[in-house]
Amino acid sequence: MPMKAMVYHGAGDIRFEERARPTLLAPTDAIVRMTKTTICGTDLGIWKGKNPEIETTAKARTGSFDGRILGHEGIGIVEEVGSAVTNFKKGDKVIISCVSRCGTCENCQKQLYAHCRNGGGWILGYMIDGTQAEYVRTPYADNSLYLLPEGLNEDVAVLLSDALPTAHEIGVQYGNVKPGDTIAIVGAGPVGMGCLLTAQLYSPSDIIVVDMDDNRLAMARELGATHTVNSGKEDAVARILSITQERGVDCAMEAVGLEATWDICQQIVKEGGHLANVGVHGTPVRFSLEKLWIKNLTITTGLVNANTTAMLMKTCCSGKLPMDKLATHHFKFDELEKAYDVFKHAADEKAMKVIVDL
């Protein structure tokens, strides 16, 4: 049977069109009927041609490429499960993790689920069809779905698919945020805001948020930033050094994926500090190793493993992470093209995270 989906056909070419409903391909699969999804900055990057490997990998495997359904975030209701799925049944309300994991390979045994060696990792909306559709096939369902807790705000549940665990794991944990630290978050999009919120679980003394959007900076202050810097109106490096008495920060989180934001981060980390790259980079950046080699820094990169999703879900249920404030816009599924347009012009539309209801 056909369904509607947002499909990537190549750089600059996405279409809201009919596709065949997914079917079970392995006994560990589940089919989920989507009830909410969203658009990630990574989806915009794919649309702009940031990930040409989607097309080239498909052609290498099958000799052709007929499009990829986008999306790797969302919640839904289990429609069908494979014979090996034991933790879920038809009718269960679930959160879909952006990372699929077999649970048994060498990397999964290290909780390096993003690099599952048995066809898992970040594959939804990338190497296989994703969640911006009426139905989605989720591999390794027992390890890659979460029962939706009763009472949890469903907009928040969507953010538990990717934005919040990415921020927490790759920004805050890899950045080794500790009580009393001074940290800077460069980029106040959904993931940057997730860094801001989850960093507060570790009691830093100062949180500096940098962006070019005054609306987002105002939200950052509301959510706990002690200082905000508009890098479009002032020299962000000079301002941050002034705030820190010329010392720099203990941790800088790059949450955009551009050379300009990377460059701010590499100039503001003090000796012995951490630079946690969270943003998705599609082009090379200048790495000033001639200045950094002497500073005893720890520089980390990463793709979310989603090994803290369950903990974050409990924290959200407790009300200690006001993630619902990030869901600024809602659209119906047949308005998905409009939702993309709004998210693409997020600054003009004052959009943080758009939620799409099916």
Domains of the chain: 2-161+309-357 (3.90.180.10), 164-300 (3.40.50.720)
- Residue 258, CB half-sphere, CA atoms under 13 Å: how many? 9
Q: Which residues pair with 37 in a beta bridge?
A: 74, 356
Strands (E), 21-119: 30-38, 68-69, 74-81, 93-96
Q: Is 274 exposed, middle or buried (0-12, 13-18, 19+ CB in 10 A)?
A: buried
Q: What is the pLDDT of residue 163?
A: 96
Q: How far apart are the C-alpha atoms of 243 and 234, rounded to whole Å? A: 13
pTM value is: 0.95
Contacts of 357 (CB under 8 A, 6+ apart): 35, 36, 330, 331, 332, 333
**Strand bridging mode 353-357 / 327-332:** parallel
Amino acid in the structure at residue 176: N
Q: How far apart are the C-alpha atoms of 40 and 309, rounded to whole Å? A: 17
Q: What is the pLDDT of residue 70?
A: 98
Average pLDDT, the chain: 97
Q: Which residues pair with 147 in a beta bridge?
A: 94
- Tokens linked to 261: 């934001």
The DSSP symbol for 148 reads P
Instruction: Specify whether the CB–CB gap between 170 and 304 falls below 8 A.
Output: yes
Q: What is the pLDDT of residue 282?
A: 85
Q: What is the pLDDT of residue 319?
A: 87
Closest among 98, 261, 97 to 188, alpha carbons compared: 261
Q: What is the pLDDT of residue 320?
A: 86
Residue 53, classed as helix, strand or coil, is helix
Q: What is the pLDDT of residue 247?
A: 98
Q: How many other CB atoms sit within 10 Å of the CB of residue 272? A: 10
Question: If you search the block for the tokens 């392995």, which residue do you land on?
Answer: 26
Contacts of 213 (CB under 8 A, 6+ apart): 188, 346, 347
Q: How many other CB atoms sit within 10 Å of the CB of residue 48? A: 12
How long, in residues, is the chain? Answer: 358
Angle, vertex CA 116, rays to CA 113 and CA 122, nearest 5: 70
Q: What is the pLDDT of residue 321?
A: 87
Instruction: Give CA separation, 232 vs 88, 209, 219, 235, 309, in Å.
Output: 48, 13, 17, 8, 34
Angle, vertex CA 308, rays to CA 203 and CA 118, nearest 5: 150
Q: Residues of the chain whose pLDDT is less than 50? A: none
The DSSP symbol for 286 reads -
Instruction: Specify whether the CB–CB gap between 269 and 237 falls below 8 A.
Output: no
Q: Tell me the CA end-to-end span of the chain in Å, nearest whole number.
A: 17
